[in-house]
Amino acid sequence: MNRYIGRRALITGGGSGIGQATVLRLLAEGGSVVAADISEAGLHDTLTRAGEVGGRLTTVVVDISSEASVREAVGSAVSTLGGLDVLVNAAGILRSSHTEDTPLELFETVIRVNLTGTFLMVREAIPALSAGDGPAVVNFSSTSAGFAHPYMAAYAASKGGIQSMTHALAAEYSKRGIRFNCVQPGSISSGMTDGSGQSGQSVGPGLPEDADWSLFTKLQPILGSGFAGPESVAGVVAMLASADGAFITGTEVRVDGGTHA
């Protein structure tokens, strides 16, 4: 498929996981892409993986929790691409802990990166998207937004906020022709799903060491033999932001292999 020939996309979280897979998917379909990430090493890896289509890929370092960094990164991307048609907000963090042991700083960090970061990216990109060709935004919610995932209160709050915000944006900008949708990944193998607990509060996404696994009544997808790769979500993102998704806005698509069917 060549749905992205002549189309310009900015993708956050482009240095790893689903974000990186989405960068590679849109490049494979002919798009010109700016991959944004806080990790320079991750962006270098994406450039390497892009191979022969890397000539249509540019990278930019961004901290999506910083208003100044977002403003600079979006401006750079729009300048490089000569405009903007697609924004994919895949960047995010997952932290897990017992709620009563969760420092306010940790809770606010998750909200700041996931929810506020998505807002900042959208806000800065709207002027360019308004002048784009079939403009579309794909935000990243999660199955955590609608299903009980213990020890992940901050993450669930951030992803639920993104989902609600996406519906509001779809209505607000419908007359400008900008479509807003969410994906809800679940049971996907990516950098965000790796990690291990430490002393009751994980540094990364892993659960606390004393987590009660009986609280997780459903963990495995009903399709396949385990977690799917990030490319399974990238394909859905590519559809939503393409002409094939032209009549889809203000909704979310769950990609979890039926884990929460």
- Summarised one tens digit per residue, pLDDT across range 35-56 is 999 999 999 999 999 999 999 9
Q: CA-to-CA distance for 244 and 187, rounded, in angstroms?
A: 25
Average pLDDT of the segment spanning 12-27: 98
- 235 — pLDDT class (breaks 50, 70, 90): very high
The pLDDT of residue 216: 84
Q: Which amino acid is at 176?
A: R
Q: CA-to-CA distance for 211 and 250, rounded, in angstroms?
A: 35
- 195 — pLDDT class (breaks 50, 70, 90): very low
- 198 — pLDDT class (breaks 50, 70, 90): very low
Alpha helix (H) ranges present in 131-246? 153-172, 231-240
Per the domain annotation, does 76 fall within a domain?
Answer: yes
Q: CA-to-CA distance for 126 and 253, rounded, in angstroms?
A: 22
Round the average pLDDT of the chain to a whole number and report it: 93
Write out the residue range of the structural domain in which residue 15 sits. Answer: 8-252
pLDDT greater at residue 196 or residue 251 = 251
pLDDT at 179 over 80: yes
Per the domain annotation, does 61 fall within a domain?
Answer: yes
Per the domain annotation, does 259 fall within a domain?
Answer: no
- 192 — pLDDT class (breaks 50, 70, 90): low
Place of tokens 């607990």: 197
b/e 201-210 (16+ beta carbons within 10 angstroms → b): bbebbbbbee
DSSP string for 83-140: S-SEEEE-------B-GGG--HHHHHHHHIIIIIHHHHHHHHHHHHHHTSSS-EEEEE
pLDDT in tens, 57-94: 999 999 999 999 999 999 999 999 999 999 999 999 99
pLDDT in tens, 114-163: 999 999 999 999 999 999 999 999 999 999 999 989 999 999 999 999 99
Per the domain annotation, does 53 fall within a domain?
Answer: yes
Would you state the torsion angle of the CA atoms of residues 114, 44, 68, 128, taken in this order, to the nearest 10 degrees? -80
Known catalytic residue: 155?
yes
Per the domain annotation, does 261 fall within a domain?
Answer: no
- Order of strands across the sheet with 179-185? 57-61, 32-37, 8-12, 86-89, 136-140, 179-185, 251-255
Q: CA-to-CA distance for 41 and 19, rounded, in angstroms?
A: 14
Per the domain annotation, does 96 fall within a domain?
Answer: yes
- 218 — pLDDT class (breaks 50, 70, 90): confident
- Report the CATH number that the domain containing residue 15 is assigned in CATH: 3.40.50.720
Per the domain annotation, does 257 fall within a domain?
Answer: no
The pLDDT of residue 224: 84
pLDDT at 30 over 70: yes
- 201 — pLDDT class (breaks 50, 70, 90): very low
The pLDDT of residue 205: 56
The pLDDT of residue 136: 98
pLDDT at 170 over 60: yes
What total of structural domains would you count in the chain?
1
Per the domain annotation, does 221 fall within a domain?
Answer: yes
Please choose, from the candidates 46, 2, 39, 4, the residue with its C-alpha nearest in 3D space to the C-alpha of residue 21. 46
The tokens of 134 are what?
Answer: 């079939």
